[in-house]
Structure 1
Amino acid sequence: MRKQVYSKTHLFLLLTVITGLIWSAIKPANYLTWVLEVSPAVVGVIIVIATYRRFQLTTLSYAIIAILAISMFIGGHYIYSKVPLFNWMKETFHWQRNHYDRFGHLLKGLFAIVLREMVLRKTPLPKGGWLTTIVLSMSLAIAALYEIIEWLVGTLAKQGKAVKDFLGTQGDTWDTQWDMLLCFVGSILALLLLTNVHDKLLKK
């Protein structure tokens, strides 16, 4: 019975992600930017679907993947630097930039829980300091790889408008470093706040 409940929950999450993808594809700010922004999320969801029967994750991990995918769909639809809610916050709090990009990278730290689950289930590494260190290192490495991919896209595409929107630096020289730092901080917070819940779900 429990397995059936989880399956329905997973299906709900998948349908939510698909709905978000369809919505984001309807008249986005720029179609090329949209493709660049949502592609990683779409590839990730396809991998999750393809491996579902062989390696089923906890509902918490699937929920995190869904949240991250939808956050990328929102960024792709509006362009990260122009997400309406954060434009309003920019004007209200007199910020120098739209911080949706910063928020998105902090949110990506949640993926540390998914990485933790993979390491625990696929390696003999026990819970403890080394597990935390390795998961944080993996999370930071993925964040750095994403920034390298952004740099490569920007270099190969010769800095067109769509690519400039994709990079979303908003004139900040240290934008890349901020993105990696926020993902790292988000990973630490995710492990601190969600580890106990994650362990309970792993036991089930």
Structure 2
Amino acid sequence: MISRPVTMWKTLPIAQRRMILLLLAAIGLANIAQPYPDLAPLQHGPTIALIMATPWLLRRWPLSTSAVACIWLFLLLHTLGARWIYSYVPYDDWARAVSGHDISSFFGTTRNGYDRLVHFSFGALLTLPVAEFARRHGGLSWGWSLTFAFAAIGLGSALYEIFEWLLTIMAAGETADYYNGQQGDVWDAQKDMAAAQVGSGLALIALLRLRG
């Protein structure tokens, strides 16, 4: 029983194995002195489950190391945000420590925007893996695979926002508000979806230029 997962692990390119191990290490570091321990399992649990399934998934549906790297970068951004449940990522403190100025003042915002960055990255970084999957395993042409990827990013964003809405209905008190990261913005879901589509659109332009 143990030999099969080991065999699947060994079939992965070494670069992909290293990315998986680095992501696991990042999750471990993100949970040292965890500031929101009650929400940490909800934030990190799905990522750990995906990592555990990755050797089987990549053996069943192989992807290039470039595509896997895009997914890896997105999950690293998520892991960083998950430590502070997104709404409290202290990027202004980091910026002041480095430059003496904070990012929020530069852009004239009061809202923590890290979650918006990750939604944008969802579109920008996952368009290539989805397109590659559609081309390799769905038999689509390059053009149609990019179209499919753009549409899939929109669907994925919408399904995630619906999940957050359902969580708000089922979860009690502050738990749902903390997890959702709405920060009082009634248009938060629409802006998140728009950020993902903008990211995907820019990725499409870049991929078409590289292809051309």
Q: TM-score, normalised by structure 2?
A: 0.82
What RMSD, in angstroms, separates the aligned Cα atoms of the two structures? 2.1
1:97 corresponds, among 101, 111, 121, to 111
With 45-54 and 55-64 compared, the bigger mean Cα shift is at 45-54
Give 5+ residue unaligned stretches, structure 1: 200-204
What does residue range 130-141 of structure 1 map to in structure 2 within 5 Å?
Answer: 130-141=144-155
1:113 corresponds to:
128
Q: Which runs of 5+ in 2 are unaligned?
A: 1-9, 94-101
The residue that corresponds to 1:65 in the other structure is: 71
Give the whole-Å Cα distance in 2 for the aligned partners of 1:195 and 1:19: 35
Deviation string for 1:120-179 (max 9, x for gaps)?
011232122x33322211110011111111111111013x22321110011111000001
Deviation at 1:26, TM superposition (A): 1.5
The share of aligned pairs that are identical, in percent, is 30
Aligned positions of 1:21-100 closer than 5 A: 21-86=27-92, 88-100=102-114
Contact kept? 1:81, 1:98, Cα under 8 Å: yes
- Structure with greater contact order relative to length (CA < 8 Å, sep ≥ 6): 1
With normalisation by structure 1, the TM-score equals 0.85
Q: Which position in structure 2 is the counterpart of 1:202?
A: none
How many residue pairs match? The answer is: 192
User: 1:152 maps to what in 2?
Assistant: 166
Q: CA 1:48–1:196 in 2, change beyond 3 Å: closer, same or farther?
A: farther
Q: Mark the CA change 1:119 to 1:86 in structure 2 (over 3 Å): closer, same or farther.
A: farther
Structure 1 runs (4+) deviating above 4 angstroms are none
Q: CA deviation at 1:97?
A: 0.6
Q: Is the 8 A contact 1:30 1:162 kept in 2?
A: no
